[in-house]
């Protein structure tokens, strides 16, 4: 037996690197090269044998706890690497660790065992196709215009959770719905195979699925919805050519459903201009239909203005030679031709407005009606200045001079504070408003050396102020000319003027000037808070042009739908207002940028509901003793007058932005502008009768009055309560001994410059005479002459109604005497009739026919015996025998109930002037 050699001279040896593969959900690792550990001590027992392998963490720090290495054959050193648990490729696809072999040592106890170097093991986990594709979205939607083929309409996408490219990639997609004009490629792109028609089928719905490269189908299919849009045409969609506006509606949106379609063209700036044309209405837009003087009062202007172009009248005859044009408001428009049409204001008027502090206001329309704006007048064609107003006034011991002129598109004020000493100064303004042939309101406040100009309520600073140098002095005399200057009519004004006024003293406040010009209609923007970011809105002073600008189409569309039309007039002027919408687009590619045509439409303001102006609380009869009319103050004609204005139907207050939405009658805040009291029949005799009005109250309220013998007219825009107070103070007074028996008056009112009128209220005034005064011979004769005046109508006496007995009135003496005589005469005739009937009954029954003849003879004899006391009265009255007189006289007779039956049986025939029988 050989002796035991305990020496273990060599270390085991293994490869330095191994590549391993393990299937997912398995634990045996296949290594390349195979795992063998060699020891040069072999075939020695223990020292040349491999007892085991140790697994360590790899160089990257990956854990080795998932793997283990075992020895299959100790003598050959064959080993096996395996995982302790099945591996998941989706959790970790690759693993790295190190292994080390050690021998069995020198004995069975493994003493003095040796270790090999460490070898790196890389293990890759092979994937198993255990997952199916899943679509990112369950439903895909797309919209495409009709009539076109697209390379891609929509792209669907599915994902697979497997870790390897073989099983995680989607190899192809498939459309499950048959017979549809769409195909899908392996990348999920869907396109149409033929042009789509929105009329034939507006919406296409189909299903698609997906497969991975392991041929696993998607767990759930995806739905695709394709909407076919009609052919896209760039432009505005939802444009309504006609827009209706009901007066009293407040503000209404002009384009509630309008939006811009760019057909996917990328734009970076959009600008839209909305233009409302109102130049044909009044002086450029809808304003209050009152006179300029009334509008000044309503705006709170300082009083004291002098009208330089008043309506022609005997007192203002310097405008009678000027041609006038019709106007929708109450103002008078004068036309000037630059030569013969000149207004020379009297010196008495010019003297009242002297001084170097004054405010000149006027409405101007350059060139008249059918004249093109002289835009090129300042260049090339050097025309003379056109003078509008030229004034030389006397100030104590000196004269000052100023003139307002236009030249091309420039407005100039030439001011000379002292024509004998100071040098003149010229203020120039360059204004487009001067030469656009539209109506404009000018307000020039001079407080030398300060000059303030307002054009359409907007302040403009002078573009140039300079010393005009030496020029010929004006004549040292006071003169005020409209349409020319200094008496020579060269370079006169060509155009229209209206409402030219001058007020001396302090300048007009800006708020008043804005009110005088303010349009009651125009364009507006609904709610600025809803304006999107990057949006801009601009409205010109007259609110006839609104400009929107932005860079986002959605925000721009919302802004366009907020453009509104407003008209604050209760009774807006009906008619058509043309509308225009001009759009400008700017794109990144300017060459292919869209061009949109201008849209044209019109706004129709409907006829407003006519207000009902109702006058009540008067008459129809007013009976007073004659001495009351002959007193110093006379008798008030309308002491209980009531004026009510209301619309014919209710108005929705919610539409006007007021609180609540209930329907309520619009019966407040009306403004009358005139009332007239007119005597019916003969005009007033100024020597015997007159109508009295409280002039102090009129002046205090700024009202004007025209008092003639034919009528009294009170004018001026004021509230209903003011007109009620003024009309209640109207009194009728007679001279001593001038009382007649009746006088009739008619009262009517109007608003909106006579556009709406009230009912006509007729009042009959009865003068009650005392009995004593009638018994006086001279007074009785005078009363009868007045009462029996031949100019009165036929039924004047018979139709005269007695006054109300509750008013303690006295019945006129003459009428009482006549009635008593008639009643007495009737009683006598009844008694004679009864007596005659009894005598007839006493006669024999056989002579009935003769008795009838005798009865007829009795009637004739009665006519020869009895004299009608009314006959002489009728002859004096000149009353013809007509049916109306019959009925009225019968009415007086029937007042006696005892004689009613007899009156039906007794008929007296009397031939009237016309030869026809009359019935009494």
Q: Is the pLDDT of residue 618 over 80?
A: yes
Q: Which of 446, 450, 448, 405 is nearest to 429 (CA)?
A: 405
CATH for the stretch 134-229: 2.60.40.60
Per-residue three-class SS string for 865-903: HCCCHHHHHHHHHCCCCCHHHHHHHHHHHCCCHHHHHHH
Lowest mean pLDDT, pick from 232-236, 267-271, 591-595, 627-631: 591-595
Residue 35, classed as helix, strand or coil, is coil
Instruction: Provide the token pair at 4.
Output: 């035991």
Per-residue pLDDT tens over the stretch 477-522: 778 888 888 655 456 888 898 888 888 876 677 777 777 667 788 8
Q: Is the pLDDT of residue 526 over 60?
A: yes
Q: Is the pLDDT of residue 154 over 90?
A: yes
pLDDT at 844: 44
Q: Which of 719, 356, 284, 747 is nearest to 541 (CA)?
A: 284
Average pLDDT of the segment spanning 700-705: 83
Per-residue pLDDT tens over the stretch 803-856: 343 333 333 444 555 667 677 777 777 777 766 665 555 544 444 444 333 433
Q: How far is CA 630 from CA 514, 640, 738, in A?
A: 51, 21, 8
Alpha-carbon gap, residue 589 to 377, rounded angstroms:
40
Domain boundaries, the chain: 13-126, 134-229, 235-279+519-605, 292-369+385-517, 611-646+670-768
Q: pLDDT: is 636 or 317 the higher one?
A: 636
Q: pLDDT: is 632 or 327 the higher one?
A: 632
232 — pLDDT class (breaks 50, 70, 90): confident
Range among 94-98, 233-237, 577-581, 658-662 rated most confident = 577-581
Q: Is the pLDDT of residue 646 over 90?
A: no
Q: Is the pLDDT of residue 418 over 50?
A: yes
Q: Does domain 235-279+519-605 have CATH number 2.60.40?
A: yes
Per-residue pLDDT tens over the stretch 741-763: 788 999 999 887 777 889 999 99
Q: pLDDT: is 51 or 328 the higher one?
A: 51
Per-residue three-class SS string for 349-399: HHHCCCCCEEEEEEEEEECCCCCCCCCCCCCCCCCCCEEEEEEEEEECCEE
pLDDT at 880: 37
pLDDT at 821: 65
Q: Is the pLDDT of residue 153 over 80?
A: yes
Q: Is the pLDDT of residue 893 over 50?
A: no
Alpha-carbon gap, residue 425 to 693, rounded angstroms:
49
**Phi, psi (deg, nearest 5) at residue 454:** -115, 125
Contact 12, 50 (CB under 8 A): yes
pLDDT at 354: 66
Per-residue pLDDT tens over the stretch 426-441: 888 888 888 888 888 8
Q: Does domain 292-369+385-517 have CATH number 3.30.70.20?
A: no
Q: Is the pLDDT of residue 665 over 70?
A: no
Q: Is the pLDDT of residue 677 over 90?
A: yes
Q: pLDDT: is 905 or 285 the higher one?
A: 285
pLDDT at 292: 63
> Residues with Cβ < 8 Å from 915, sequence gap 6 or more?
none
Q: Is the pLDDT of residue 289 over 80?
A: no
pLDDT at 840: 54
398 — pLDDT class (breaks 50, 70, 90): confident
**What angle is formed at CA 459 by the lines to CA 456 and CA 465, rounded to 5 degrees?**
120
Instruction: Please give the DSSP secondary-structure letter assigned to residue 70.
Output: E
pLDDT at 253: 92
Per-residue three-class SS string for 537-556: EEECCCCCEEEEEECCHHHH
Are 13-126 and 611-646+670-768 in the same CATH fold?
yes
Alpha-carbon gap, residue 757 to 759, rounded angstroms:
7
Range among 175-184, 346-355, 488-497, 607-616 rated most confident = 175-184
607 — pLDDT class (breaks 50, 70, 90): confident
Average pLDDT of the segment spanning 624-643: 88
Give the fold, CATH level 3, of 611-646+670-768: Immunoglobulin-like (2.60.40)
Range among 312-316, 323-327, 508-512, 617-621 rated most confident = 617-621
pLDDT at 770: 66
Q: Is the pLDDT of residue 650 over 70?
A: no
- Count of Cβ atoms closer than 10 Å to residue 680 Cβ: 12
Average pLDDT of the segment spanning 166-183: 91
Distance of CA 877 to the CA centre of its chain: 65
**What H or E segment, with its residue span, contains residue 515?**
helix 510-517
Q: Is the pLDDT of residue 320 over 70?
A: yes
Per-residue pLDDT tens over the stretch 332-372: 889 888 878 888 888 877 777 766 778 888 888 887 654 44
Q: Is the pLDDT of residue 796 over 50?
A: no
Per-residue pLDDT tens over the stretch 103-144: 998 888 878 889 999 999 998 888 778 888 999 999 999 999
Q: How far is CA 772 from CA 179, 765, 797, 819, 873, in A?
A: 119, 22, 21, 18, 21
Alpha-carbon gap, residue 43 to 74, rounded angstroms:
11
Average pLDDT score, the chain: 76
Contact 249, 655 (CB under 8 A): yes
Q: Is the pLDDT of residue 272 over 90?
A: yes
Arch. (CATH architecture) of 13-126: Sandwich (2.60)
Alpha-carbon gap, residue 640 to 764, rounded angstroms:
15
Instruction: Provide the token pair at 425.
Output: 């100064």
Q: Is the peptide bond before 417 cis (omega within 30 degrees of 0)?
A: no
Helix then strand then coil, in percent of the chain rounded to 5, is 20, 35, 45
């Amino acid at each position: 037996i050989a002796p035991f050699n305990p020496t273990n001279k060599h270390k085991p040896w293994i490869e330095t690197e191994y590549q391993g593969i393990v299937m997912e959900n398995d634990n045996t690792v296949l290594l390349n090269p195979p795992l063998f550990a060699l020891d040069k001590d072999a075939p020695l027992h223990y020292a040349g044998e491999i007892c085991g392998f140790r697994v360590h963490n790899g160089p990257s720090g990956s854990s080795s706890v998932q793997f283990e290495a075992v020895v299959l054959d100790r003598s050959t050193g064959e080993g096996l690497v395996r995982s302790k648990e099945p591996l998941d490729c989706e959790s970790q696809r690759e693993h790295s660790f190190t292994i080390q072999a050690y021998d069995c040592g020198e004995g069975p106890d493994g003493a003095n065992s040796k270790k090999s170097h460490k070898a790196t093991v890389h293990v890759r986990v092979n994937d198993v196709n255990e997952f199916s594709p899943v679509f990112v979205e369950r439903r895909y939607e797309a919209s495409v215009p009709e009539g076109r083929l697209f390379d891609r309409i929509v792209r669907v996408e599915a994902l697979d959770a497997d870790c390897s490219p073989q099983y995680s990639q989607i190899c192809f997609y498939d459309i499950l719905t048959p017979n549809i004009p769409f195909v899908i490629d392996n990348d999920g792109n869907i396109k149409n195979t033929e042009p789509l028609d929105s009329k034939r089928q507006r919406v296409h719905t189909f299903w698609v699925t997906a497969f991975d490269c392991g041929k696993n189908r998607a767990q759930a299919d995806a739905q695709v919805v394709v909407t076919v849009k009609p052919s896209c045409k760039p432009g505005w969609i939802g444009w309504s050519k006609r827009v209706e506006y009901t007066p009293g509606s407040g503000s209404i949106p002009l384009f509630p459903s309008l939006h811009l379609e760019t057909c996917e063209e990328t734009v970076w700036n959009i600008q839209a201009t909305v233009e409302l044309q109102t130049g044909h209405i009044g002086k450029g837009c809808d304003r209050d239909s009152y006179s300029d003087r009334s509008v000044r009062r309503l705006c709170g202007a300082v009083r004291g203005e002098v009208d330089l172009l008043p309506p022609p009248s005997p007192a203002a005859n310097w405008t009678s030679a000027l041609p006038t044009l019709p106007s929708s408001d109450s103002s008078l428009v004068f036309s000037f031709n630059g030569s013969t049409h000149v207004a020379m204001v009297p010196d008495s008027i010019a003297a009242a407005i002297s001084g170097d502090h004054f405010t000149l206001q006027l409405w101007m329309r350059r060139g008249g009606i059918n004249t093109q704006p002289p835009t090129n007048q300042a260049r090339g064609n050097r025309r003379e200045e056109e003078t509008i107003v030229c004034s030389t006034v006397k100030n104590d011991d000196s004269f000052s001079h100023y003139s307002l002129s236009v030249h091309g598109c420039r407005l100039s004020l030439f001011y000379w504070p002292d024509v004998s000493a100071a040098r003149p100064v010229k203020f120039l303004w360059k204004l487009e408003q001067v030469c656009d042939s539209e109506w404009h309101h000018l307000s020039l406040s001079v407080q030398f050396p300060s000059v303030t100009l307002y054009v359409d309520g907007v302040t403009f600073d002078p573009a140039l102020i300079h010393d005009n140098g030496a020029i010929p002095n004006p004549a040292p005399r006071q003169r005020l000319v409209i349409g020319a200057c200094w008496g020579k009519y060269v370079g006169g004004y060509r155009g229209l003027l209206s409402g030219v006024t001058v007020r001396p003293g302090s300048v007009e406040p800006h708020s008043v000037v804005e009110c005088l010009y303010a349009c009651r209609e125009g364009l507006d923007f609904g709610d600025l808070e809803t304006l999107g970011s990057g949006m801009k809105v601009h409205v010109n002073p007259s609110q006839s042009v609104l400009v929107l600008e932005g860079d986002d189409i959605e925000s721009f569309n919302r802004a366009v739908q907020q453009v509104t039309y407003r008209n604050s007039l209760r009774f807006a002027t009906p008619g058509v207002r043309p509308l225009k919408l001009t759009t400008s687009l700017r794109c990144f590619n300017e060459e292919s940028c869209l061009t949109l045509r201008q849209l044209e439409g019109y706004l129709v303001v409907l006829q407003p509901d006519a207000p009902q102006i109702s006058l009540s609380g008067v008459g129809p009869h007013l009976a007073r003793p004659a001495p009351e009319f002959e007193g110093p103050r006379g008798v008030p004609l309308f002491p209980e007058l009531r004026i009510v204005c209301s619309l014919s139907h209710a108005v929705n207050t919610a539409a006007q932005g007021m609180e609540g939405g209930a329907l309520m009658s619009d019966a407040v805040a009306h403004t009358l502008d005139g009332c007239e009291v007119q005597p019916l029949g003969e005009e007033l005799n100024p020597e015997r009768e007159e109508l009295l009005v409280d002039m102090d109250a009129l002046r205090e309220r700024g009202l004007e009055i025209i008092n003639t013998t034919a009528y009294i007219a009170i004018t001026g825009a004021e509230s209903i309560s003011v007109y009620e107070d003024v009309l209640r103070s109207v009194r009728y007074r007679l001279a001593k001994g001038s009382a007649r028996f009746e006088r009739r008056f008619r009262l009517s009112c109007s608003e909106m410059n006579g556009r709406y009128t009230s009912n006509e209220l007729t009042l009959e005034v009865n003068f009650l005479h005392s009995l004593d005064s009638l018994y006086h011979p001279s007074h009785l004769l005078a009363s009868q002459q007045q009462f029996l005046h031949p100019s009165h109508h036929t039924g004047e006496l018979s139709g005269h109604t007695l006054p109300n007995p509750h008013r303690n009135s006295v019945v006129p003496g003459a009428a009482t005497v006549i009635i008593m005589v008639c009643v007495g005469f009737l009683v006598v005739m009844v008694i004679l009739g009864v007596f005659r009937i009894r005598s007839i009954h006493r006669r024999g029954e056989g002579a009935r026919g003769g008795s009838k003849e005798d009865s007829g003879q009795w009637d004739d004899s009665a006519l020869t015996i009895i004299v009608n006391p009314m006959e002489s009265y009728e002859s004096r009255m000149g009353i013809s025998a007509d049916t109306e007189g019959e009925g009225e006289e019968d009415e007086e007779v029937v007042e006696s109930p005892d004689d009613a039956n007899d009156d039906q049986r007794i008929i007296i025939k009397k031939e009237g002037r016309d030869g026809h029988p009359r019935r009494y």
